[in-house]
Amino acid sequence: MLVVVGCGRDDFENDPRPPLALEVSVQLGPEGVTVSPAEFGAGLTNFTIVNLTGGPASFTYDGPSTDGTDEIPDNGSTVLKVELDQGDYEASAEGTDTEPFDFTVGPERDSAQNDLLLP
């Protein structure tokens, strides 16, 4: 009879779960761009963008990192999923004369280790 006994390592550390993705609303309006909330923590961010400018426009942001969307038709919407670093950013509606909006990304958000994840 052969008996195999295995011992697991007890000196490894589990990495905590990363923060949940943050939902941020962006309105490209006739007067300017609005980002809500205007301050939030670094990490995975989902920008939900609606274009109310009266014509086609694209959303861009510039800061420690830069990204943007393809052209969004008038009264259309889209979602942009990005990993944002800490710093100050400027959001704008390319293809329009609207005013840009400044927003701030703070330190990385807390781990979602003990948060209940729902489908």
Domains of the chain: 22-108 (2.60.40.420)
Instruction: Give the pLDDT of residue 28.
Output: 96
Is the pLDDT score of 9 beyond 60? no
Report d(CA 35, CA 45) in Å as an integer: 12
- Cβ count near 108 (within 10 Å): 14
| Backbone Cα Rg of the chain | 21
Write out pLDDT tens, residues 12-39. Answer: 566 677 777 899 999 999 999 999 999 9
0.85 exceeded by pTM = no
Instruction: Give the pLDDT of residue 109.
Output: 80
- Reference 34, options 22, 47, 21, 45; nearest CA is 47
Write out pLDDT tens, residues 58-88. Answer: 999 999 999 999 999 999 999 999 999 999 9
